[in-house]
Amino acid sequence: MRVTFTVNGRRHEADDVWEGESLLYVLRERMGLPGSKNACEQGECGSCTVRLDGEPVCACLVAAGQVEGREVVTVEGLAEYARERDGSEGRGSTGDLAPVQQAFIDAGAVQCGFCTPGLLVAADELIERNPQPTDADIREALSGNLCRCTGYEKIMDAVRLAAARADDSAPEVV
Amino acid sequence: MEFLRPASWEEALAAKAEHPSAVPIAGGTDVMVEINFDHRRPTHLMDLNRVHELHEWEIGDETVRLGASVPYSKIIDELAHELPGLALASHTVGSPQIRNRGSVGGNLGAASPAGDSHPALLAAGAEVEAESVRGTRFIPVEDFYTGVKRNALAEDELIKRVHIKKADGPQQFSKVGTRNAMVIAVCAFGIALHPETRTVRAGIGSAAPTPLRARTAEDFLGAALEEGGLWDSGRTIPPSVAREFAELCSGACNPIDDVRGSAAYRRRAVGVMARRTLGWVWESYRATGNGRTTEGGAQCA
Ligand SMILES: Cc1cc2nc3c(=O)[nH]c(=O)nc-3n(C[C@H](O)[C@H](O)[C@H](O)COP(=O)(O)OP(=O)(O)OC[C@H]3O[C@@H](n4cnc5c(N)ncnc54)[C@H](O)[C@@H]3O)c2cc1C
Ligand code: FES
Ligand code: FES
């Protein structure tokens, strides 16, 4: 079947999609967007997290046909998405990266990087919804994303940093 | 495989009548796992996401009419006051990503004994509105679960809504698992005080082939509260009563040994959860003026 939907602001079309195929497969294998990772295909790891009409979801658990006509944001579109949301003066945004991406680099929250795309999408949505998250809020928002490398502390640092930079009233802390 | 995309409820019913083997897919958090792992190859996959009614809810005088596909995250954000037990249970499901997609309709469709909404629905009191081209049935939720991963739906029926009694008193939910997120219940327990009818209802999950109510325990506790005049006095429940209630809840279980826990552990844990959650709901009942108020009697932990 043919499936048409918007990814990162642009209309994409995929042909010969198998009816049982996941959104994740279509993004990675048919649309040339391998940023969303495939690890478990059962919703456990969060490395495939994308936004579907704004909501963070596991792309591996959405049937491609369910996305017809809807809007998806993947890690590839995160910088642009953040720029449009925050305006060009959005603090902490540097060039091609969303603030949350820059914060992950600055805080040393990336090791092998496999979990990173999903965490970035989830963390960015958290800060959008809750600009000053507590540590408990961060842990809850990221509880569906597994990381085998970092032990999560640097990821916590990165999200705190991204939130602090986005919050104009707060002093810069690194 | 064929992908069906009904644009309305009527179309969905017609499609299900025409293709009884079609597998409905709502949030997909059960269905897609089965497809990804080749455990299921239905002839037809029927997307319910386009059917607006299923994503809506209505708050009536007595019940909340919850569309089958309303995701857990909406229940937590919007219905915690009316459905405190279900909101607590919803909060323990999977992860934020799963809660943004997963629904009570899907939980009922899957009818896993470990589904977290079941103990909360049993405790609150609920009816499943099942519809087909032949007509509508209202199935009390305790009759809906017919076996391990089996439910009372006919092959041409779909769940339209779940009618859940609005809380008239405190409700609680408790779940045993290895960590705080992404956990299938080892066992789970839901309890609701119903001061208006002076009854207590208790639902048990993952400790029998189906979710079930602990009816003997409910009746015992109801009688003990009545005889002791506790609904009026709001006095502390005597420890012997709480203990007996817990034992009767344990006794209602018919658990198995599996990778998540042994039968003996499940029985014991259900008793512990019963005693603790009873303590919690009774404390909030006492704290809200012995339930003489009908508003705000429910509290979300
Ligand atoms: C990582 C992960 C963690 C999970 N954690 C939990 C947990 O903690 N607790 C828990 O209870 N569950 C958990 N689940 C299971 C799942 O999320 C729930 O059962 C959820 O409620 C399913 O809802 P859904 O809308 O995604 O259902 P779907 O996957 O879309 O459907 C599930 C079943 O219901 C049927 N169905 C759906 N809608 C209807 C309808 N309207 N009428 C008739 N049949 C219908 C489908 O055909 C299918 O058989 C988890 C799943 C994953 C992947
Ligand atoms: S690949 Fe989707 S959650 Fe792991
Ligand atoms: S950085 Fe390797 S899994 Fe997280």
Structural domains of chain B sorted by starting position, each given as residue range(s) with its CATH number in brackets: 171-287 (3.30.390.50)
CATH architecture of A3-74: Roll (3.10)
CATH code assigned to A77-168: 1.10.150.120
Nearest to residue A104, comparing CAs of A145, A147, A56, A157? A157
| Domain definitions of chain A by residue range | 3-74, 77-168
- At A88 the pLDDT is 64
Judged by CB atoms closer than 8 Å, whether chains meet at B100 and A57 is answered as yes
Q: Which residue numbers of A have CB closer than 8 Å to B's CBs?
A: 1, 18-20, 22, 41-44, 46, 49, 55-58, 60-63, 65-66, 68, 122, 140-141, 143-145
Report, as ranges of residue numbers, the positions in chain A whose pLDDT lies below 50.
none
Name the helix (H) or strand (E) containing A84. helix A78-86
Whether this model's pTM surpasses 0.80: yes
CB pairs under 8 A between A and B: 89
Beta carbon of A60 within 6 Å of any ligand 2 atom: yes
- At A167 the pLDDT is 80
Beta carbon of A36 within 6 Å of any ligand 2 atom: no
Asked if residue B73 lies in contact with residue A54, where contact means CB atoms within 8 angstroms, the answer is no
Nearest-ligand number for the alpha carbon of A115: 3
Question: How is residue B134 written in tokens?
Answer: 């032949």
C-alpha–C-alpha distance, residues B114 and B188, integer Å: 8
Helices B84-91 and B117-124 pack at an angle, to 10 degrees, of 170
Instruction: Let me know if the fold of A3-74 is the same as that of A77-168.
Output: no
- At B26 the pLDDT is 98
Q: Which atom of ligand 2 is nearest to the CA of A43?
A: 3
Which parts of B40-181 fold into alpha helices (H)?
72-78, 84-91, 96-101, 104-110, 117-124, 141-144
Would you give per-residue pLDDT tens digits along chain B (301 residues)? 999 999 999 999 999 999 999 999 999 999 999 999 999 999 999 999 999 999 999 999 999 999 999 999 999 999 999 999 999 999 999 999 999 999 999 999 999 999 999 999 999 999 999 999 999 999 999 999 999 999 999 999 999 999 999 999 999 999 999 888 888 999 999 999 999 999 999 999 999 999 999 999 999 999 999 999 999 999 999 999 999 999 999 999 999 999 999 999 999 999 999 999 999 999 999 998 654 444 443 433 3
- At B300 the pLDDT is 37
- At B293 the pLDDT is 41
Beta carbon of A47 within 6 Å of any ligand 2 atom: yes
Q: What share of chain A is helix, strand, coil (3-state, %, to 5)?
A: 40, 15, 45
